[in-house]
Structures are given as C-alpha cells and as structure tokens.
Structure 1
C-alpha cells in the first residue's frame, strides 16, 4: 500500500514537472518571437542618444555607458561578430559584442538603423587588428596590405543590439 502511494506521488510529480517544462519552453519561444531582432541582452530603448551625443560624452571622459542609435555602414560577413556604424562626421565606430557572447546575422545590414547598449571608449587599434577586421569585411588583399599604421578610434562594446 505504501509502495502504491509513493508510485502515485512519483508519477504525479513527473507529470507536473513535464508540464512545467513544456510551459517554460512555450514561454521562451514566445519571448524569442517578440524579440526576433534583439541580439545579446534584452534592454529597454529608453534614454537613447545619437552618435553625436556619444562623441561629445566620450570627449569629456575615458568611457561612457550609453544606449545609442546609429546607421550600420558595414558588418562582419564571416561570423556576424562586429558592425561599423556611421558617426556624425561620416567616419565609423566599430561595435563589438561583449565577450563574443552573441552575433548578428551574416547578411548585408548596410543602411539599417540599430539601437545598442554598452560602453564606448577611445582605443588605439593595432595594424593586425585593423587587417583582421578588413579581412572579415571581405576587403581586397591590396586594401588589407595598405593598412600600415595603428589608429586611434572610438570603439563600443555592446551588451545588446536591436535591429530596426
């Protein structure tokens, strides 16, 4: 009799557990569907600043945490591991993704509007890193060989990205 009771309790627990697992999976699918254009950490697109405001903020300090909107100029065609966005002076800012924790789709994202959140700072980029990014972008051997000097530029490490 005790054995029958424990068997019934165990079956009941397994049923409830399986049902909860199914509901969680359904909830996750619904969340992913509503955030189909969100990559990395989900975030609220509040207090979004322009690239001009970002450049002004970084000029006054070492680094700035911000949520920014910009136009994508180019993105990694190899793995989706970075994007370049247009700055106010028509130069670009490289946006990478924290700890390679997420990637963007490997498709032509040029011209798309994007909102991203994370940290911006000025960095010196080595020749090797510049050549690596040029290779990822599909640049020609001549364009890659022409990179011969380190360069200081504004960089952004994103925790989350929303494609518009």
Structure 2
C-alpha cells in the first residue's frame, strides 16, 4: 500500500511539473495582475516593474523572440525578452502566460513595426501599410511561465 501511495504521489508531482513551462528567469505566478488591468495600474507612469498574467495573441513566427498579449481595450501589448536572452515556443497563441519585468509606455518606430509584422508572417502589402510610429504599452520580461 505504501508503494502505491508513493507511486501516485510521484506521478502527481511529475504531471504538475509539466503543467507549465518556464522561460528566462524562473518566476512564480504569485501576485500577477491581469493584463487587462495593467494600463490602469500604470496610470501616468512611464515605467512599472510588475508581474502580469494574460492570454497570448501572437508569437514571433521566426524564433519566438516576442509575443503579444491581449489587453482591456481590445488591443494587444508587445512583450519582448530582456537582452534577447530567451525565447518562448512559437505555438502558444491562445495560451495563458505569466511574465515578470518592466512595463513601459513607448513609441515604436515604423521600421521596427514593419520588422515585427514581417516576423508575424504578414504580407508585403500589409507591411507597406505601416507608415506611422505607434505609441503603446510594451513590456520587457525577465521570465515567462507558459501555462498548459
């Protein structure tokens, strides 16, 4: 009976460990705020160190070097990874993630927006329609948890 209990416990721990994957700095999901509340929490600040939870909208198709996460206003926030030091799986669109780092209000130049569009697999016509820089909430993450 003791052997069965140990086996069941070991199996449970193994399955729980595989229920999420970690990328970059190992973080926990404790204290994460919903991505839909981040803009309100930022207020007028230019920068805020925090932990956020949200749903992935898109991922860089080239190597997983950025992702976008849905926000409250129907828009998305681009999440990049500190010092280009890690990547996320390219197939996580629609999955829940938790990420920790620095939220910023930034202006992204046209050339960079076109680069992101190319990474996302947009057509040449769609890329050429990008003619204005974009002011938006962005995030530089130290670590990401992908929940399965």
User: What TM-score bracket applies, with the shorter chain setting the length?
Assistant: 0.7 to 0.9
Which residue number corresponds to residue 50 of structure 2? 66
Deviations 1:84-109 (A, max 9, x none): 000011100000000001001233x2
> Which structure has the bigger radius of gyration?
1
CA distance in 2 between counterparts of 1:41 and 1:35 reads 18
Normalised TM-score (structure 2): 0.84
8 Å contact from structure 2 (residues 80, 140) kept in 1: yes
Which runs of structure 2 are paired with 1:7-156 in the superposition (5 Å)?
37-107=21-91, 109-156=92-139
Q: Tell me if 1:158 matches 2:130.
A: no
CA-atom RMSD, angstroms?
1.6
Normalized per residue, the structure richer in strand is 2
Structure 1: which 5+ residue stretches go unaligned? 1-29
Q: TM-score normalised to the size of structure 1?
A: 0.76
In structure 2, C-alpha distance between the alignment counterparts of 1:140 and 1:75, rounded to whole Å: 16
Runs of 4+ in 1 over 2 A off after TM superposition: 33-36
Higher share in helix: 1
